[in-house]
Structure 1
Amino acid sequence: MTDQRDPDAPRQKVVRVVGSRRARLTPVAGTDTDPERVSKEPRRPKGPKGPKGPNDDQLMQDVPPHY
C-alpha cells in the first residue's frame, strides 16, 4: 500500500504550547474546529434499555464494596 500524497499540498504544522506537555497541530484547511457546532442534539442520559425489572430499584441503590 503506497501513500499517494501531493507534495505541494499544505501540511499541518506542529505547534509547541508553552506550559503544556502536549503539542498541537494546526487545523486542516476546510475543517471546523469549533466543538460546539459538531453536535446540536442534547445528550440523553445513558440508562437501561428495555422494560424495568422487579429488582432494578434495589440494584441502583446498592453500593459496591470498596476494598
Structure 2
Amino acid sequence: MTEQPEPGPDGQRVVRVAGSRRARLTPVPGSDPAPESGPETDDDDATAGPRGPKGPNDDRLMQDVPPHY
C-alpha cells in the first residue's frame, strides 16, 4: 500500500471507527454535513393512488394478482 500524505490543517481526515470495517472522513470545513432531503411531500399523496384519467383496463389491473401470491 502507498502512504498518503498528511492532509493540511483545513483538509479532511480519515477517522477509524472502533468495531467497524470501514473508516469515515471528517466533513470538509465550511460544508454542511447534513444530507440533503428530497422535496417535501404529504404522506397522503403517496397512497392516494393513480393520477390522471381512468383508463379502460384500470379496474382489471387493480384486481389482478400475480401468480406467485
Q: TM-score, normalised on structure 2?
A: 0.47
Q: TM-score, normalised on structure 1?
A: 0.48
- Which protein is bigger by CA-based radius of gyration? 2
